[in-house]
Amino acid sequence: MTALVTGGASGIGEAVSRRLAAAGAKVAVVDRDAVAATKVAEEISGLAVACDVTSESALSAAFAEAESWGGRLDVVHLNAGSVGGQSGITDLDVEAYRRVVGVNVDHVVFGLNAAVPALRRAGGGTIIATASLAGLVPLPGDAIYTMTKHAVVGYVRSAAATLAPEGIRAMALCPGYADTALIAHMRDQFGDFPLLTAGDVADAVDAMLDRGEPGECWYVQPGREPGPYGFRGVPGPRTGEAPPSLSWETQHQGEHADRGARPSDEEG
């Protein structure tokens, strides 16, 4: 099995890279930090690929290199991410806005589009995009980050409907606050608030690879067993049939709700 992990040189991405390698996978560690990527790759006998994930051409080249190196591609974890750092309501920093959208949204779209042809050649596979609990519920104070993670959740759930018949699972990973470099600048603000470790999130990825279903968005919270979030169904029209574009989601809505936690479980 060959896997590719973006943001694979630190935090959650590093933990997942090491976990996959320990399970016998050949892992391509993709990261903008070439030195860190090389260090992790050497330690797990993987491939280091320095890459700006906001560039479609660079990301496509990284996927091509990984597939050529591994002979195939089976698992893709689109994990690279960036915090917003601004409310995005009255203090919009356009340059920072473009940067976080590039990493959190463009990278997932470009990555999925690069992954699909390779997974088709392998006869199927799995794509996991790291979103956040902020993709399921609002995060006060960082509307831009929340927007990008909601976008990832919506994109993955929609793409899953198209890819599932081809044996390609697309899922989203939605962890709560994890004690990684992304929150290092505000770590003291958490006090005794329980934080996830990168290993906790890697455990959830293991579970998703083992039993995840297309379109699921798995929450990860300290002290809880990770699992698929149970989205509430949207009320349909009083008369008539659902539009064809909604048919897949309509058919699977009850199944996902049954398997996942209700929104109130998260907020409690």
* Ramachandran angles phi, psi of 6, nearest 5°: -85, 150
For 184-228, how does the pLDDT look when each residue is reduced to its tens digit (9 = 90+)?
555 556 555 577 899 999 999 999 999 999 999 999 999 999 999
Rounded CA separation 49/134 (Å) = 29
- pLDDT value at position 47? 98
> pLDDT tens digit string along 72-91?
999 999 999 998 778 888 88
Place of tokens 């998703």: 208
Annotated catalytic residues are 145
State yes or no: pLDDT of 56 exceeds 70: yes
> What are 82's two structure tokens?
């960036």
Write out pLDDT tens, residues 125-163.
Answer: 999 999 999 999 998 888 999 999 999 999 999 999 999
The tally of CA atoms less than 13 A away on the side-chain side of residue 53 is 32
- If DSSP codes are grouped into helix, strand and coil, which group holds residue 3? strand
Banded pLDDT at 108 (limits 50, 70, 90): very high
Query: In this predicted structure, what is the pLDDT of residue 253?
Result: 46
Segments making up each domain of the chain, as ranges = 2-267
Q: Annotate 178-187 with b (16+ C-beta within 10 A) or e (fewer).
A: bbbebeeeee
The Cα 162–Cα 155 span in angstroms is: 11
Instruction: Kindly report the CATH class assigned to 2-267.
Output: alpha beta
Produce one character per residue of 131-170: b if its CB has 16 or more CB atoms within 10 Å, e if not. bbbbbbbebeebbbbbbbbbbbbebbbebbbebbeeebbb
